[in-house]
Structure 1
Amino acid sequence: MDEEEVSMEAAENSSKDVAPALIALHPLESCVAVAIGSELRLFDLQGKRSVSLSDNTGGSSHSDAIRAICFGANGRLFVSAGDDKLVKLWATDSWHCVRTICSEKRVSSVALSHDGQYVTFADKFGAVWIVDLDEDGNKDAMADKKAVPLLGHYCSIITSLEISPDGRFIASADRDFKIRITMFPRKPLKLANEIQSFCLGHTDFVSCLSFVCPPDYSEGFLLSGSGDATVRLWDYKSGCLLDTCEIGEKAGFVDYKEVEKEASPAVTNIHSFPDGSLVAVGIQSLNGVMLLKCESSTKTLSFLKTVYMEESFIPTSLSLSSSAKRLWVIMGASNLPSPGSSQLLTHVRVVSNLDQFLLDPHGCDPIILEDNDVPGGENLLTQLQGSLYASKEEATLAATASALKVAMHNLLIKKQYSEGKRELRKRSRNDRKQKQ
């Protein structure tokens, strides 16, 4: 490798992607999980204690950045996956790792079917894989099952996977502006999949998806967020765009359409109540969370309120509790350890009073809970944040916000290379097959 190739490789390694902190709630809000870097932190909200993970493989649960976490709809399983090419399944009654699945590439997204029978995961090369979990079967037989390919997006990073509540469809989104709706086969390991529709209309990477099923509209809708500063509402079966919410305008980014692409207010997270009565939206440049509502009668999105937090608090992940009507928000980056320590810092906030707010949006406001009022109190915050007080320092928050802007850009915005650099990259690829 010549000098130019070495310098190019060093520059790319120095801009390694920063992994954002993630948060996920148990469906009944009995526990909360946080992922930061390669760490999984859990807290039992019912027992008001931290949770220790048990993994027979030894060592830490993951050896590289975790990129996706989620609970199953019934709450019996929790899944984590990331850059170490491992998908780990945890039984939430014991928090023992019941299965480790090896991926060929780094994992970018995961989803569990609502019946708990299948786990699907996507990798950085645009392939979606599926594994039959067979929860009620023999555990030894379950451990021997391999992931099989389900569908693909042709070398485009898949940013989000969601399985519809009725289990009939799987939605997959990528950084090339596409949303694909695929019929979920009755026998996914034996039958070919069939494309139901494409939801096309975003003008930048699609970052997140969420299904909603209003009680008076049994077919349900799909919500999507994008780097084009919009949240869109879809009739996903036909691929028809129903409504578009310009979140840049609603959040007060008046001139966002005039700024450079990487500075636009990209949507980073969407999380909603199952019926669509409340939709929480995280925005890359917003120090808070935007609240929307899905109007099933008119098939539109309506803006409710923006809940502002500290000036430098830019949420990296959201999770809504439909049972307790609370919104959990986290901020953190995998390259920012606590001062004098190697432990990574996060900052957790909880927004309450959402049930009263939905009853009277003009008379009642959501409440950002003080530390002492957060479920689990200081014990929870110390466990999930890494430090009770250091994570609140203004300098730490500002550095985290800056790091995550770079992370989002590096992950989802395609890099542009000159012809010369493209040729250099081809020559220095390390995944070429070696001649025998």
Structure 2
Amino acid sequence: MEDTNIDDSGDKIREKEIAPALIAVHPTHQSVAVAVGSDLRVFNIQEGCAVTLVDENDVAERKPSTNLHKDSIRAIRYGANGKLFVSAGDDKLVKIWATDSWHCISTVESEKRVSAVALSSDGSFVCYADKFGVVYVVDTEGFSGKQTSNNKKGTPILSHYCSIITSLEFSPDGRFIISADRDFKIRVTVFPKNPLDGAHEIQSFCLGHTEFVSCLAFVCSQDYPQGLLVSGSGDSTVRMWDFISGSLLDTCVVGNEAGFLESDGKEDECLPAVTDLCATNDGSLVAVALQSFPGIILLSCNICARSLSVLQVISISEEAFIPTSLGSASIEQFLWMVMGVSSLRSSDSISLARVRVLSGFCKSSIATVEYKASILDDKDIPGGESILQKLQGTLSIQKQVFSSAAEAVKTAMRNLLIKKQYSADKREYRKRGRNDRKNKHR
């Protein structure tokens, strides 16, 4: 996705992009974070109050605390132990937060817009990827809970060579970092003991998707702690992989099997893209969000049999609720979902987010034929109205606004990773106007 576009008059303008809302849940269910546009909202569930984010740089420069990011946030993530939180996006900033104080302890400047982030299992390293396909690493050693540091710089460790990286994940044992891109590839790389020297050893490639890979997740159990990899794609499939060997184990065509088909009115019909995945801590369930489906699809995951199957289709059609992001905690049986969009370049646009919660997001010791998950009423979700007021920005959202937002979500998720086609003349014009000219060395 390029940084510039050309209108009919030949003027160079920044491409107008809608940013889907994101949600992340603390691993022990202490807090929930929602990002919509440049706005980052956090609620402390344990204390029942909204969190005030503190960025010492903004305080020093007398900037409003509500504008911690200056452009759309494209990635948010808690660390495995919950001590760190990372946010990053189109403003080319990677902000690392200490969750005990919610102070920004480091701001790293990226050369390009950031598309994905990941934290190592021990919290020692933060990795982020940009839209030119480069993955960088930052060492978190020496960070304190309240002192802001801007001295850290990202060190490039691997590259997908000009293909947008859509998702980054560390393996459960921390031995590998997995990166997915817009060009159908999943790369499994050995994460070295000293990543600042680069990650040069490729373990495998997981190849089989026929459209962009949009999201990754791991499923693991006590009997199989190494886990298996699951991936979602624009080809409307969720695939299971032995990521060590790169072998494809199973494919679930969620668009077909759940009975949803989207037509663009032309001869060719296209299935909705998988936009996000979230797995339970025991690896028994995988929740799937689809580009145009108002609800979620739950897949049953049998790690021993290495298989995936549709378990339950949960529709939330009364609100036209199309989730743009999913999240869960390792100790609770809740699946958090958010639907939202923000168009920062339209002066009359407002950020919209709607949060819903699914209960029963855990299938261990429950027979498949008896399993049933359900959507909680707003009054029954953890945090109640207070958390909705903070994460949504409002308690009441008009139905008409929801319908408009749903259409915007469909368009945003459809176009987010589709490669744009340009004429030869436009392509040459764009090349001449690019702002990333490289220094030539003789």
Normalised TM-score (structure 2): 0.90
Three-state SS of the structure 2 residue aligned to 1:68 is strand
Q: Percent identity?
A: 55
Q: Give 2:123's aligned residue.
A: 116
Q: Give 1:375's aligned residue.
A: 382
| From 166, 170, 179, the counterpart of 1:159 | 166
What is the CA-CA distance between 1:78 and the residue it aligns to? 0.5
Q: Give 2:260's aligned residue.
A: 253
Q: Give 1:68's aligned residue.
A: 75
Which blocks of at least 5 consecutive residues in structure 2 are unaligned?
Answer: none
Q: For the residues of structure 1 that align with 2:154 and 2:430, how far apart are their CA atoms?
A: 30
Q: Give 1:36's aligned residue.
A: 36
Aligned 8 A contact 1:87 1:101 in 2: yes
Q: Give 1:422's aligned residue.
A: 427
Structure 1 residues 12 and 353, CA gap change in structure 2 (3 angstroms): same
Q: Give 2:114's aligned residue.
A: 107
- Further displaced range: 34-43 or 259-268: 259-268
What is the CA-CA distance between 1:138 and the residue it aligns to? 11
Aligned 8 A contact 1:116 1:135 in 2: no
Amino acid at match of 1:32: V
Provide, for residues 81-105 of structure 1, a one-character-per-residue CA deviation record: whole Å limited to 9, x for no partner. 0000000011000000001011000
Three-state SS of the structure 2 residue aligned to 1:403 is helix
What is the CA-CA distance between 1:137 and the residue it aligns to? 7.6
Amino acid at match of 1:362: V
1:52 and 2:52 matched: yes
Aligned 8 A contact 1:62 1:84 in 2: yes
Structure 1 residues 324 and 433, CA gap change in structure 2 (3 angstroms): closer
Q: For the residues of structure 1 that align with 2:41 and 2:68, how far apart are their CA atoms?
A: 10
Q: For the residues of structure 2 that align with 1:54 and 1:132, how far apart are their CA atoms?
A: 22
Aligned 8 A contact 1:216 1:296 in 2: no
| From 315, 321, 330, the counterpart of 2:323 | 315
Amino acid at match of 1:7: D
Q: For the residues of structure 2 that align with 1:336 and 1:101, how far apart are their CA atoms?
A: 22
What is the CA-CA distance between 1:325 and the residue it aligns to? 0.5
Aligned 8 A contact 2:238 2:251 in 1: yes
Aligned 8 A contact 2:274 2:291 in 1: yes
What is the CA-CA distance between 1:263 and the residue it aligns to? 4.7
- Further displaced range: 269-278 or 29-38: 269-278
What is the CA-CA distance between 1:286 and the residue it aligns to? 0.8
Q: Give 2:407's aligned residue.
A: 402
Q: For the residues of structure 2 that align with 1:137 and 1:110, how far apart are their CA atoms?
A: 20
Structure 1 residues 298 and 5, CA gap change in structure 2 (3 angstroms): closer
1:296 and 2:303 matched: yes
What is the CA-CA distance between 1:139 and the residue it aligns to? 8.8
Q: Give 2:8's aligned residue.
A: 7
Q: For the residues of structure 2 that align with 1:176 and 1:241, how far apart are their CA atoms?
A: 17
Three-state SS of the structure 2 residue aligned to 1:228 is coil
Q: For the residues of structure 2 that align with 1:358 and 1:327, how far apart are their CA atoms?
A: 18
Amino acid at match of 1:34: V
Structure 1 residues 136 and 89, CA gap change in structure 2 (3 angstroms): closer
Alignment of 1:320-335 (within 5 A): 320-335=328-343
Aligned 8 A contact 1:133 1:142 in 2: no
Structure 1 residues 142 and 190, CA gap change in structure 2 (3 angstroms): farther
Q: For the residues of structure 2 that align with 1:96 and 1:400, how far apart are their CA atoms?
A: 32
Three-state SS of the structure 1 residue aligned to 2:429 is helix
Three-state SS of the structure 1 residue aligned to 2:415 is helix
Normalised TM-score (structure 1): 0.91
Structure 1 residues 258 and 231, CA gap change in structure 2 (3 angstroms): farther
Provide, for residues 139-185 of structure 1, a one-character-per-residue CA deviation record: whole Å limited to 9, x for no partner. 98964232100100000000000011111000000000000000000
Amino acid at match of 1:26: H
What is the CA-CA distance between 1:365 and the residue it aligns to? 2.0
Three-state SS of the structure 1 residue aligned to 2:107 is strand
Count of residues paired in the alignment: 427
Structure 1 residues 75 and 9, CA gap change in structure 2 (3 angstroms): farther
Q: Give 1:225's aligned residue.
A: 232
Aligned 8 A contact 2:7 2:13 in 1: no
- Further displaced range: 45-54 or 254-263: 254-263
Structure 1 residues 357 and 292, CA gap change in structure 2 (3 angstroms): same
Three-state SS of the structure 2 residue aligned to 1:144 is coil
Alignment of 1:92-241 (within 5 A): 92-134=99-141, 143-190=150-197, 192-241=199-248
- Further displaced range: 111-120 or 53-62: 53-62
Amino acid at match of 2:335: L
Aligned 8 A contact 1:336 1:345 in 2: no
Structure 1 residues 308 and 139, CA gap change in structure 2 (3 angstroms): closer
Q: For the residues of structure 2 that align with 1:5 and 1:283, how far apart are their CA atoms?
A: 31
RMSD across aligned positions (CA):
2.7
Aligned 8 A contact 2:17 2:343 in 1: no
Aligned 8 A contact 2:334 2:361 in 1: yes
Aligned 8 A contact 1:164 1:170 in 2: yes
Q: For the residues of structure 2 that align with 1:412 and 1:426, how far apart are their CA atoms?
A: 20
Structure 1 residues 10 and 305, CA gap change in structure 2 (3 angstroms): farther
1:353 and 2:332 matched: no
Amino acid at match of 2:40: L
Which blocks of at least 5 consecutive residues in structure 1 are unaligned?
Answer: none
- Further displaced range: 296-305 or 225-234: 296-305
Q: For the residues of structure 2 that align with 1:172 and 1:8, how far apart are their CA atoms?
A: 39
Q: Give 1:25's aligned residue.
A: 25
| From 87, 93, 100, the counterpart of 1:86 | 93
Q: Give 1:385's aligned residue.
A: 392
Q: For the residues of structure 2 that align with 1:191 and 1:149, how far apart are their CA atoms?
A: 7
Higher helix share: 1
Q: For the residues of structure 2 that align with 1:351 and 1:138, how far apart are their CA atoms?
A: 33
Provide, for residues 321-361 of structure 1, a one-character-per-residue CA deviation record: whole Å limited to 9, x for no partner. 23110011100001299xx9975221110111334797144
Q: For the residues of structure 2 that align with 1:275 and 1:289, how far apart are their CA atoms?
A: 19
- Further displaced range: 131-140 or 170-179: 131-140
